[in-house]
Structures are given as C-alpha cells and as structure tokens.
Amino acid sequence: MRTKRRGNFHRFILKSFMIILLVLSVFVMLTQRSTFTAIEYKISKLEKEKIALLKERKYLLTTKASLTSISNIRKADAKTEGFHFPDRTKIIYVKTTKEPEPLQASFPGEGRQSR
C-alpha cells in the first residue's frame, strides 16, 4: 500500500512539474517574440533614419559643389572685385619641418620582458 501511495505522489509531482514547465516555456516564447518584434521595429526605424540622412548628405554635397564651382567664384569676383589669381613669381613656398620628438627613456625591447 505504501508503494502505491508513493507512486501516486511521484506521478503527481511529475505532472505538476510538467505543467509548470509547459507554462514557463510558453511564457518564454512569448517574451522572445515580443523582444524580436521590438528589435525589428527599431531596425526599421534606424533604416528610415539612415535613408533620410543619405538624402540630406546628397543634397549637401550638391550644394557644396554648386557653391564651390568656378562659375560662382567668377560671378562673386565680378561683383566684389576682390578675387584675383596670383602670378607664379609672387608665390612663396614655406617648407615646414617636423618638431623634434621626445627621446625614449628605455632601450627598444626593454619595456616588455617575457616571463
């Protein structure tokens, strides 16, 4: 009689454990699904933002190209009479030198010793 009662108790524990496991697995699946949906939404939002920024970049590049074109510079020169191209004989080239670097405090390879 005692073995039958223990067997019923073990079955009850096993069944309740399986039900709890089933409920938890459904809950985990639902949370993963909602997380994936949120991530997909963020990705689509960032892609839209990227497309908008690329359009703005194209617009800014064309604006820059139109503002720096030679024809616009010549038009500005005609209005202000301030631009003129220098003669080659009047151009002075200045040679720059590197500034001296600090000396090393140790010999090469001395800083890292293998153990």
The rounded mean pLDDT for the chain is 81
Sorted by where each begins, the domain ranges of the chain are 2-82
**Tens of pLDDT, residues 50-60:** 999 999 999 99
Note the pTM of the prediction, 2 decimals.
Answer: 0.47
Weakest-pLDDT range from 33-37, 47-51, 81-85, 105-109? 105-109
pLDDT for the residue numbered 1:
46
Number of other CB atoms surrounding residue 114 within 10 Å: 3
**What CA–CA distances, in Å, run from 71 to 4, 14, 15, 114?**
101, 86, 85, 65
Number of other CB atoms surrounding residue 25 within 10 Å: 10
